[in-house]
Amino acid sequence: MALAQEFFAGDTVEVARSLVGKYLVRRYGKAVLAARITETEAYVGRIDKACHAYHYRKTERTRVLYAPPGTAYVYLIYGMHCCLNFVTEPEGEPAAVLIRGVEPRYGLEYMAKNRFGRTPEELNAYQRKNFLNGPGKVCAGLRIDRQLNGLPYGSRELEVCGSLSEAGLPEFPEDQQKLAVQVSKRIGIDYAEEAAEFPWRFYIQL
């Protein structure tokens, strides 16, 4: 069972922090992929110059940011890499959380094939270290693309669960340890003036 939609309706910064340690579950065909969320960033349109909908900007691209909480917002960077976000706060308030990094739990063979066209055993040390530690890598590994942009919350294709058992999967014992969530400013948004200093990135040190 996925997290309740109300989870995403809360304050974006708090949602971003709370998503660390939750599980992103992707289903397509017969594949079931699950990964623990390890890094997130918050973006809040009303005050955040780094947000695509800063000052309530409305374009075809930002339309999804005004959708109900939990809606998937998938956009392209550099014209080639997809980034996954979940819309937050009440409908009509443009804000979202970017999923920057995850750690594989189930479906590793699919993720390795999606990322590198290899089996997990064929990955070299560099590929293992940099497997899913970036928003474009997350989308590539879990086969998340623009076709999922605007996907309503509650779809089995893509959901967030509080535990693996809620997704119908066995738990990992090591995941029961208490997480030490780190906080920093966000990455790659130097153009955003004062917003570049907002401490809205949350992550766990792997």
pLDDT of residue 193 exceeding 80, the answer is: yes
Burial class (CB in 10 A: 0-12, 13-18, 19+), 121: exposed
For the ranges 35-44, 166-175, 187-196, the lowest mean pLDDT is seen at 166-175
Predicted local distance difference test score (pLDDT) of residue 153:
94
Q: What is the mean pLDDT of residues 59-63?
A: 94
Q: What is the pLDDT of residues 118-171, one digit of tens each?
A: 999 999 999 999 999 999 999 999 999 999 999 999 999 999 999 999 999 999
Burial class (CB in 10 A: 0-12, 13-18, 19+), 144: buried
Q: Which residue has the tokens 């623009």?
A: 146
Q: Reply yes or no on domain 5-203 having CATH 3.40.50.1980.
A: no
pLDDT in tens, 79-110: 789 999 999 999 999 999 999 999 999 999 99
Alpha helices in 35-131 (DSSP H): 108-116, 125-129
Radius of gyration of the chain (CA): 16
Query: Residue 78's pLDDT band (boundaries 50, 70, 90)?
Result: confident
